[in-house]
């Protein structure tokens, strides 16, 4: 039993180390900076990918918020509309210390639309609303549009040219699709809380629903980051093994086709990405050498993998690469402004880490 505990402790230490020491695609940037000095320096806008139909039981709200996290806004919208919190849904979680625009839906069958004034707050405003037949589900939106402003602290005459060249490399090649640090909480505390609950012997009372979701997501994301780091170190990040799974760019669809002959060309063009496993119950979808590698990884972290499966999570796949679209670059020393669009589920902070050693002013 002691040997098992020591093994789990070693794995936890490895996961924690990887949270701050994930291998990067490009050599470390010589430039240091800071972002999110003001909420206006970090702006995010959801791209839903479709328009509400104008009729139905669900009222869609297009909300601009500042200084509040998504879950809190959802809770307050439920209170203001006089509905149960379960009647409020959203597609993605957005940062608190930022200006963000995102969709919420209220289930209001047979009820009149509440007034905008009733729903508004000092920290958020409903910009528009429309009816739709179906509720929002997590991950429904197609992408997010980011506008980031950073201050670079160690500039010289070469800074702008260097940053622009690296930015071009990033947009052309893409970067590892790591889950960002905000997924894990300050100091990785969400992983600690997940393991304190999941690995407790004897079992303890599970956390509340919202906290449970956060902890499960943190542990699952840490395992994915560990897998992605392994593929990067082994140079299989964009060089598939026989039987690998692939993701169709900009979608949640994935496939494995060992007989396909044009995969390299499609990878190079950005039409598809290699995909890696998200822990859960069910069969891994890869085959051949790729399946062997994924099974070895699952075995190495089996207690954590089984704990996630026991909570009902199912095996899924996530792209290993994210590639920004519709990019913008503006350098006016010492300020750098970036604009780009990423598929839903991708973290701008992971993209930024390949460009500059930047600290979040809201954390440091």
What's the rounded Cα separation, in Å, for the pair 351 and 357?
Answer: 11
What's the rounded Cα separation, in Å, for the pair 78 and 72?
Answer: 10
Tell me, what DSSP letter sits at residue 314? B
Q: Among 41, 95, 113, 153, which one carries the catalytic annotation?
A: 95
319 forms beta bridges with 275
Please state the separation of Cα 312 from the chain's center in Å: 20
What's the rounded Cα separation, in Å, for the pair 221 and 58?
Answer: 31
Structure tokens that stand for 107 in this block = 């289930």
Distances (CA, A) of 166 to 31, 263, 308, 335: 11, 26, 38, 16
66 forms beta bridges with 99
List the helix and strand counts (H, then E) for the chain. Answer: 10, 16
Q: Are 214 and 284 in contact (CB under 8 A)?
A: no
What's the rounded Cα separation, in Å, for the pair 150 and 356?
Answer: 10
Structure tokens that stand for 286 in this block = 């890869």
Structure tokens that stand for 181 in this block = 């640090």
Closest CA to 315 of 288, 351, 291, 344: 291
Q: Which residue has the tokens 């320096």?
A: 41
Q: Is residue 271 annotated as a catalytic residue, yes or no? A: no
Closest CA to 163 of 328, 29, 360: 29
Structure tokens that stand for 14 in this block = 């490895």
Catalytic residue set: 95
């Amino acid at each position: 039993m002691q040997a098992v505990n020591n093994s789990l402790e070693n794995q936890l230490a490895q996961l924690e180390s990887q949270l701050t020491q994930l291998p990067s695609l490009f050599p470390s940037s010589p430039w240091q900076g800071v972002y999110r000095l003001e909420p206006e320096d970090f702006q995010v806008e959801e791209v839903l990918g479709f328009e509400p139909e104008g009729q139905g039981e669900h009222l869609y709200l297009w909300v601009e918020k500042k200084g509040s996290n998504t879950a809190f806004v959802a809770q307050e919208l439920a209170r203001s509309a006089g509905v149960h919190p379960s009647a409020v849904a959203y597609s993605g979680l957005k940062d608190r210390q930022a200006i963000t625009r995102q969709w919420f839906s209220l289930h209001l069958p047979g009820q009149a639309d509440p007034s905008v004034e009733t729903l508004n707050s000092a920290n958020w405003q409903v910009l528009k609303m429309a009816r739709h037949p179906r509720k929002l589900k997590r991950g429904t939106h197609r992408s997010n549009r980011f506008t980031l402003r950073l201050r670079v602290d160690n500039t010289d005459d070469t800074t702008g040219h260097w940053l622009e060249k690296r930015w071009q490399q990033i947009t052309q090649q893409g970067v590892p699709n790591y889950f960002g640090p905000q997924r894990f909480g300050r100091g990785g505390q969400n992983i600690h809380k997940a393991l304190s609950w999941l690995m407790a012997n004897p079992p303890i009372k599970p956390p509340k629903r919202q906290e449970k979701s956060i902890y499960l997501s943190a542990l699952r994301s840490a395992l994915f980051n560990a897998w992605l780091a392994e593929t990067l170190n082994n140079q299989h990040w964009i060089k598939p093994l026989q039987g690998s799974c692939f993701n169709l760019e900009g979608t949640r669809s994935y496939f494995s086709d060992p007989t396909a002959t044009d995969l390299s060309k499609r990878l190079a063009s950005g039409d598809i990405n290699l995909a890696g496993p998200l822990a859960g119950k069910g069969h891994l979808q890869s085959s051949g050498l790729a399946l062997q590698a994924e099974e070895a990884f699952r075995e190495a972290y089996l207690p954590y993998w089984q704990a996630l499966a026991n909570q009902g999570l199912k095996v899924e796949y996530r792209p290993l690469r994210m590639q920004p679209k519709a990019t913008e670059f503006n350098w006016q020393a010492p300020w750098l402004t970036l604009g780009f669009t990423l598929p839903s589920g991708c973290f701008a902070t992971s993209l930024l880490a390949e460009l500059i050693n930047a600290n979040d002013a809201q954390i440091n």
